Amino acid sequence: MVPRPGQPWREDRYGGGGPGFTTRSWFTWTSYAEMVRLLAVEHSGGRSTARLALMSPGTPLWYRLIVDPSTLRVTRVRMIAGAHFMSQRLYAFSRPVRIEPPRR
């Protein structure tokens, strides 16, 4: 339900995430599968990370991912397209989140 202007803020459940949420259902990797490349597997501090590159020739669009092989979670994303780029860092998986209404 979308609140209307002037209505008080109220707590509600967000539609995404929760149990069963995985990177496989979050990103549509299948459309990029023909262009996936493993760039490196690195070890640091007792943890491994895999560096992947994905390319979609139709857009064209490039992704560079850092993945934790033990959980299959993507921890960093770099997306590059014509006149646009994005970097994301993903962390604090499964930790509780506190959301508060804006101050007046």
Say whether pTM exceeds 0.85.
no
User: Can you tell me the mean pLDDT for 48-68?
Assistant: 86
* CA dist 1 → 8, 100, 102 (Å): 13, 18, 18
- Given a contact cutoff of 8 angstroms between Cβ atoms, the answer to whether 86 and 77 are in contact is yes
Residue 2 DSSP class: P
Of 45 and 23, the structure prediction assigns the larger pLDDT to: 45
**Tens of pLDDT along 80-91?**
888 888 999 988
- Say yes or no to pLDDT of 79 above 80: yes
Reported as a pLDDT band with limits 50, 70 and 90, residue 63 is confident
DSSP per-residue codes, 3-48: PPTTSPP-----SS-STT--HHHHS-GGGGGGG-EEEEEEEETTEE
Does a structural domain hold residue 53? yes
Condensed to tens digits (0 to 9), the pLDDT of residues 30-55 reads: 555 567 889 999 998 899 999 998 88
Percent share of the chain, pLDDT over 90: 19
Give the total number of structural domains in the chain.
1
CA distances from 19 to 42, 48, 76, 97 (A): 29, 25, 21, 15
Domain that holds residue 76: 31-89
Domain contains 63: yes
Asked whether residue 1 is assigned to any structural domain, the reply reads no
d(CA 34, CA 10): 45
Which of the two residues, 59 and 96, has the higher pLDDT score? 96
**Cα 98 from chain centre:** 20
64, part of any domain: yes
**pLDDT computed for residue 66 by the predictor:** 93
User: Is 35 a member of any domain?
Assistant: yes
